[in-house]
Structure 1
Amino acid sequence: MTVADVYREFGVREARDVSPAYERLARHVASDNDLLDRLAALPAPKRQPNLLFAVVRLLGGPVTDPAGFRAFALDRWDEIAAQLLVRATQTNEVGRTAALLPVLAALPQPLALIDVGASAGLCLFPDRYAYRYGTRTVGAGAPLLDCAATGFTPPERLPRVAWRAGLDLNPLDVTDPDHVAWLDALIWPEHTHRRDRLRQAVEVARADPPHLVRGDAVTDLPALAAQAPPGATLVIYHTSMAYQLPDPQAFVDVVRALPARWVAVEGPALVGAELPAPPSPALHNVLTLDGEPFAWVRGHGESLTWFGRNIH
């Protein structure tokens, strides 16, 4: 797949009907040879649309006007490239916990949680947020996370968490304004609701800073898992992280060897099983428990379409 293909696919499958600004921008980049040549000189993981657009936002550049974006990017490409090389898409979208909740609430309680690719650890607090699945609300905290639920009955209660920890190559600190600014830059321009709930989730995490470990998902996960307290169900989970791994199968092998339940919201390629057709051509991830697929999930957790067995 060429760089232009990556941007065209992002515009069609991820940004369409979700972010008109990023759909326009992706289409423009896909047809701009000057920008494509510069992107092609970078390592493949650093060419991602989300990463490029977020870096330009962080540097104060325009992302709603393709012509202004192009002028800014070409004028300051050296600075942009330097940021692309040292940053990653650590979106830490708390809306994805709405997809995790039905599985977490159904497991034997209490839970010991490890979020792999934790970023700032905001998805380590599924028991502190509130969720609205259509007309049913679960929990009473903030932020309130909306998820369109199809094909399943939402849980009646939140999980009980006895211990929580995160693993990341470059964990972000919720008390560091620069780190929080990067999380904000990763949010798409029209998504004021996501920006609001980011602020609320950061406040939750600042009140009880999560235990975050700097380390590799493959080599350092067993040691962190060994720290989990006895008497709690150890749950290792991750959301939209596996595509960044150099060897996803090595990670899967490590997780399966641990005495833990494994929950993932990742692309269909990680599942390795036959799946029903997704609800629409838009990009969907798959919710799995111990490798068994249960539901289609939109990228930010805004919808959950259940197709698996009942786990309640």
Structure 2
Amino acid sequence: MAADDRNRIANGYRRFAEVEAAETSPLYARLALAVADDPDVLAFLGGLPAGKRQPNLLFAAARFLHGTPDGIDDLRRAVLDDGDRLRSTMQARATQTNEAARCAALLPLLAAIAGPLALIEVGASAGLCLYPDRYSYDYDGVRVGAQSPVHLRCTTTGGLPVPSRLPEVVARTGIDLNPLDPADEDTRDWLRALIWPGPAAEDRLARLEAATAIAAREPARMLTGHLLVRLPEAVASAPPGATVVVFHTAVLPYVPGAERAAFTEMVRDLPVRWVAQEGTGALPDVEALAPGEARGRFLLSLDGRPVAWTAPHGGRIDWFAGTMA
């Protein structure tokens, strides 16, 4: 592996440790820093395609096969002693983290859009964010919706317009290169492995179990394929009279730059409302309009207009004061 490639991988793991995992998963932060200085693990990563080297995929695959590593020695053993299975797992699977708690950020926008709504989620994974009307919410003590097994608490700043009702959803469609079946136990095992160990892990695991149960009882329509190919079809098949909402959370970093640009151009031209919740750099034109810094946060936007910073795995919304949904 060339030195430039090795340094690029190492720097990516250091950034993951410092920006993404430092607070939410101290174990993953320590592991990522150790990987950045480990020539054997870096060599293993260098033998994988560029899109398969990210920390959360490596750590999830190791957990899926061997349980949560206690430290770099456990991870090194997985790489050196079981490298073939680890490699094949990383190549066959993807970081399709499906966090229902992100619906707490989506809800204020969805509830403000005239319905009924036909939801289309790009990069849907198991589709757990397609059920915002099946969950209940608590925004700083203000409850929204009848009590659900998936109850989402959210801290807010900036005068968030807390909705008074849940939206009416008449259609749920997901688009993914590899849709996951929430009723399948192997799928659930993989989704569990994707949850970062840390102070929020217990709550996230319980929420995952409850959300997959809801999705399994009421399956969404899932389209397998590329977003540029399947999105027009999904929009065209929406029920007559419904407002079509295309949304995505933490998806665009996995879409190559040229395809990402083509997608944003497409979604702007379609007769839809567009809700995005993405990390730094995913939508630079939208991010340029946002106040403050994005470090460790997602940007929530409606039709290309930024409205809030949000916590990547849910639980906090910093609304831009004066912004109306």
1:276 to 291, 302, 306: 291
Tell me if 1:294 matches 2:300.
no
Q: Secondary structure at the match of 1:301?
A: coil
Q: Provide the C-alpha distance between the structure 2 equivalents of 1:308 and 1:88, rounded to a whole number of angstroms.
A: 37
Q: Provide the C-alpha distance between the structure 1 equivalents of 2:266 and 2:321, rounded to a whole number of angstroms.
A: 25
Q: Provide the C-alpha distance between the structure 2 equivalents of 1:12 and 1:145, rounded to a whole number of angstroms.
A: 27
Shift of 1:72: 2.2
Letter of the structure 2 residue corresponding to residue 124 of structure 1: L
1:223 to 219, 222, 233: 233
Q: Secondary structure at the match of 2:132?
A: coil
Q: Give runs of aligned pairs for residues 238-253 of structure 1, distance below 5 A.
A: 238-246=248-256, 247-253=259-265
Alignment match, 1:185: 193
Q: Provide the C-alpha distance between the structure 2 equivalents of 1:308 and 1:226, rounded to a whole number of angstroms.
A: 36
User: Over residues 145-175 of structure 1, what are the superposed CA-to-partner deviations in whole Å (9 max), with x where a residue is unaligned?
Assistant: 1222111132121111111111111000112
Structure 2 CA distance for partners of 1:228 and 1:308, relative to 1, 3 Å: farther
Tell me if 1:149 matches 2:156.
yes
Alignment match, 2:175: 167
Contact residue 169 and residue 214 of structure 1 kept, 8 A: yes
Tell me if 1:236 matches 2:246.
yes
Q: Secondary structure at the match of 1:167?
A: strand
TM-score, normalised with respect to structure 2: 0.92
Letter of the structure 1 residue corresponding to residue 274 of structure 2: W
Tell me if 1:260 matches 2:268.
no
TM-score, normalised with respect to structure 1: 0.96
Shift of 1:177: 0.8
Tell me if 1:285 matches 2:265.
no
Shift of 1:129: 0.4
Moved more, 143-152 or 161-170: 143-152
2:319 to 300, 306, 311: 306
Unpaired segments of 5 or more residues in structure 2?
1-6
Contact residue 61 and residue 72 of structure 1 kept, 8 A: no
Letter of the structure 1 residue corresponding to residue 215 of structure 2: A
Q: Provide the C-alpha distance between the structure 2 equivalents of 1:268 and 1:54, rounded to a whole number of angstroms.
A: 22
Q: Provide the C-alpha distance between the structure 2 equivalents of 1:116 and 1:309, rounded to a whole number of angstroms.
A: 29
Q: Provide the C-alpha distance between the structure 1 equivalents of 2:70 and 2:234, rounded to a whole number of angstroms.
A: 42
Alignment match, 2:209: 199
Q: Provide the C-alpha distance between the structure 1 equivalents of 2:50 and 2:246, rounded to a whole number of angstroms.
A: 28
Contact residue 173 and residue 223 of structure 2 kept, 8 A: yes
Task: Name the structure with the higher helix share.
Answer: 2
Contact residue 183 and residue 213 of structure 2 kept, 8 A: no
Q: Secondary structure at the match of 2:197?
A: coil
Identity rate, percent? 47
Contact residue 29 and residue 35 of structure 1 kept, 8 A: yes
Q: Secondary structure at the match of 2:66?
A: coil
Unpaired segments of 5 or more residues in structure 1?
none
Q: Provide the C-alpha distance between the structure 1 equivalents of 2:245 and 2:284, rounded to a whole number of angstroms.
A: 18
Contact residue 66 and residue 78 of structure 2 kept, 8 A: no
